Structures are given as structure tokens and as C-alpha cells.
Amino acid sequence: MSRLPFELLLALRYLRPKRTFVSVITLISVLGVTLGVAVLIIVISVMSGFDQQLRDKILGFNTHLKVMPRDETMKNYAAVARIVSSNRNVRAVAPYVFGPVLMKTEPPDGQSKVGAPFVRGINPKIETNMSVLPSSIVEGKFDVSDRGLLVGTEFAHNMSLQVGDRVEIGGPSVLEKWKESTEKKGATAPVLPEYDVRGIFDVGYFEYNLSVVVISLPEAQELYDLKNDVHGLMVMLHDPYQAPAVEEQLAAALGPHYQIRTWMQENSNLLNALVVEKNVMFYLLFFIMIVAALCILSALITFVVQKTREIGMLKALGATDWQVSLVFLSQAALVGAIGDLAGYWLGMLALAYRNEFLHFMNRMTGFELFPASIYGFTELPALIVRRDLLLICGSAWIICLLGGVIPAWRAGRLKPVEALRYE
């Protein structure tokens, strides 16, 4: 004899495939739950991967905190750096100059090109502790000494630059000198300083590769006519997610004359947009499982009508209302469990071969379905979070169980006399 409760045994027996309309609806319900769970797992995992990779790329080239003066440039930055370094959460501190410049290429033949990138002045001796830039050179070498220049891959492509090319760069100080030369009689126009392209970098993030060029800190100070001043300090932490707490500590230590911005604040629009999109996609795709639950509701209502005589016999033999209801609730739970399990494995399989499928679709359609120029990534990212899997599979099963509540309640309320009246 089986040790399973008779309610579950009956539910399993009723789920056996038969050539009836109810079996077709049950199969559609299982497929609906399977597709709903699989699609939700795929979409939420891909969007979680987007979020993680975006944060990694931002933190790879960007700083965790920036300390800036409120009204002017930072004059005695060494003293401020000592205060910042005294915080136990701080890993490294470096001065920086960052701002827009004008650049003109000097090709050996052909027409020159003009661009307006952001220049970043760095100290090459400590840059290894500040970013992934030294290890991200794909052509040439990491060298910004003696008017050396590093450019991103996308910027180099747009400006037709190669290692060894020369460019002219003009900062705000040059524009001021030009203005003075036009106002004074006999004054000579300033000459733009020339730089050699020593390396081309790829930090893995399209926006940085497109719009940022790197020179040494003293030369960036010269472009902005800062003398010994800087725009601020870059601060790297042992744990980047401690940035809000460290921001409060440094604000108390430095006083009101300095403002501190975290990497989360500087990229808040992008990061918040990803969170909103992830939540919206979850709610929209969850309606697939609600449709599957309605199919379960429809199948069980029809099934209760078909099994009216059997329900009456069970009641006549002593089955309680709860036991009869549990038979149909078990059916809904089994359909949900089968759909959950099938959807989980289908989702895992699709995630494992997501990039192969993406490349196949690119070849079949003839255009790029996942352009790096828009999304900033060359491969489809994915991050499988156990909490998300539990939420998806658990909520899908509960929705399926709720789909069987009304038919089960209706079956449990049937009176034996009414069920057997016309038998």
C-alpha cells in the first residue's frame, strides 16, 4: 500500500494524460507556468548581470569618492590628502585634473580631425592603485611622460589615431591667451601644445573608451593654468559599497569648504534606471504566470463538474470537505511544481547558451541585436541570484495554488445528495 495520502494519490491519478479537453487545458497550464518561469529567470538574470557589470566597469576606471572644493580649485591638496588617508576605510588617494579640452589631429596625409574629449590628468606612479588603466592598454604602452597621451579605443577609431601619431590639445588657458592676443595689438597667438599618442586603452566601458583621454597631472595642470592646484582628490576604498558611510565621515573631518561625491551619486541616473527597469520587467512578465493560473482555474472548474459523481461518492464514504478540497488543491500545486521545475531548467539552459544564441541571431538577421555602442558591453551578461530564483519560482507556485482555491472550495461544498441525485 502507498503511504501517500489518498488526496495526493487521487490528484496524481487525475493528472494522468487523457484525450479530453481538460487534459489539453492542463498541458497548456503547465506550458504557461514553464514559459513564465523561464522568461522571468532569463530576463531578471540578464538585468542583474547588466547591473553588476556596469558597476564593475564604473568602479574599474572611476573613483569611489571625489573630494572637491566648493568654490575654487584645491590649493593645498597634500594637507587634505593626509586627512583623507587617515580614514581606515581609505585604500589610496590621488590628486586629479579632469575637464573638457579641444583636440586636433596631425595626420601625415589627409585631412585633420577635431574632437572635444575629457582630459584626465594622472600620477602614473600611483595609478595602479586607482584604476585598471595601466593593465588595460591594448596597443602601445602605459606612458604619459614628456607629452605622452593615452586614448580610448573608440576615440582612436573615430579620430583615426594610432600609436605614434601627434595631436594638438587646447585647454581653457589657451583659449584665454587667444582672447588676449586678439585684444592686444602686436600680441602673438599662442601655439597649441603637441602630444604623442603612446597607448590605446580599453577599460571595458564604451563611454570611457569614447570620451576620455589621459595625460600626466603636471601637463593637465598646465592646460588648465592651475599651477600647483588641482581640481580635487580621487579616493579609493577597500569596500566601494561603504562609500556613503565614508562620505559622512570625511565631510565631518574636512568641514563645509569641501564637497564629497560618491560613485553612486555620480552614476545615480543610470543605476536607478536599471533598478526600475528590472522591477518593471518582473511585474510585466509575471502576468504570463497569472494567465497560466487562470488556465488552471478553468481546467479545475471543468474537472469539478465532470467529477461531480465521484465527489458525491467520496462524501458518502466519509470524506470531509477539507479532504475533497485538498484533492483539487493538490492538482493545482502539482501543476505549479511541474511548471516551476521545467521552467527553472529551461531558464538555466537558455542562460548557459545565451551568447551563442545571440551570435546566431546576429548572423541570421544580419544586424547586431545587442550593439556595444548602446549598451557598452560586447557580450550578454548574466548574474544568477539565488534570492531572485526563489522569488520567481515561489511566487509562480503560489499563483498556481491560488488558481485552484475556487474550484477546490466549490468541490468541498458539494452535498452528497445533490452530487448523486441524478445518478
Whole-number pLDDT of residue 355? 82
Q: What rounded mean pLDDT belongs to the chain?
A: 80
**Stretch 258-264: mean pLDDT:** 87
Cα Rg, the chain, nearest whole Å: 33
Whole-number pLDDT of residue 188? 64
Whole-number pLDDT of residue 118? 92
Q: Quick check: 177 and 190 in contact, CB under 8 A?
A: yes
**Stretch 348-364: mean pLDDT:** 83
Q: Quick check: 247 and 91 in contact, CB under 8 A?
A: no
Q: Which residues contact 120 (CB under 8 A, 6 or more apart)?
A: 96, 97, 98, 212, 213, 214, 215, 220
Q: Please name the residue that has the C-alpha cell 466519509.
A: 318
Closest residue by Cα to residue 214 from 390, 94, 394: 94
> Where is 390: in which H helix or E strand?
helix 386-403
Q: Quick check: 23 and 331 in contact, CB under 8 A?
A: no
CA of residue 224 relative to chain centroid, distance:
36
Reported confidence tier of residue 346, pLDDT bands at 50, 70, 90: very high
Taking CA atoms, 306 is separated from 21, 406, 408, 422, in Å, by: 11, 16, 14, 13
- What's the rounded Cα separation, in Å, for the pair 406 and 412? 10
Closest residue by Cα to residue 301 from 16, 25, 30: 25
Taking CA atoms, 233 is separated from 71, 249, 264, in Å, by: 15, 16, 17
| DSSP annotation of 242 | G
Q: In this model, does residue 86 exceed pLDDT 80?
A: yes
> Where is 26: in which H helix or E strand?
helix 21-61
**Stretch 169-194: mean pLDDT:** 70
Q: In this model, does residue 404 exceed pLDDT 60?
A: yes
- Tell me whether residue 103 is exposed, middle or buried, using C-beta atoms within 10 angstroms of its C-beta: 0 to 12, 13 to 18, 19 or more: buried
Whole-number pLDDT of residue 1? 41
Query: 170: which strand partners?
Result: 102
SS3 237: strand
CA of residue 313 relative to chain centroid, distance:
57
Per domain, the residue ranges of the chain are 6-56+270-420, 63-266
Q: Please name the residue that has the C-alpha cell 594610432.
A: 162
- Per-residue pLDDT reduced to its tens digit, 311-333: 666 666 666 767 777 777 877 88
Q: In this model, does residue 187 exceed pLDDT 50?
A: yes
| DSSP annotation of 188 | P
Which backbone phi and psi does 390 adopt, to 5 degrees?
Answer: -65, -40
**Stretch 132-152: mean pLDDT:** 89
Reported confidence tier of residue 115, pLDDT bands at 50, 70, 90: confident
What whole-number percentage of the chain has pLDDT above 70?
81
Taking CA atoms, 227 is separated from 91, 186, 217, 230, 291, in Å, by: 27, 27, 11, 8, 68
- What's the rounded Cα separation, in Å, for the pair 170 and 101? 6
SS3 195: strand
DSSP string, 109-167: SS---EE--EEEEE-TTTGGGT-SGGG-EEEE-S--TTTEEEEEHHHHHHTT--TT-EE
- Per-residue pLDDT reduced to its tens digit, 18-65: 555 556 777 777 888 888 888 888 888 888 888 887 777 777 777 888
Entry pTM: 0.67
> Where is 186: in which H helix or E strand?
none
Q: Quick check: 344 and 41 in contact, CB under 8 A?
A: yes
Q: In this model, does residue 294 exceed pLDDT 80?
A: no
Whole-number pLDDT of residue 149? 92
Whole-number pLDDT of residue 75? 85
196 against 325, higher pLDDT: 196
Cell of 60: 574599474
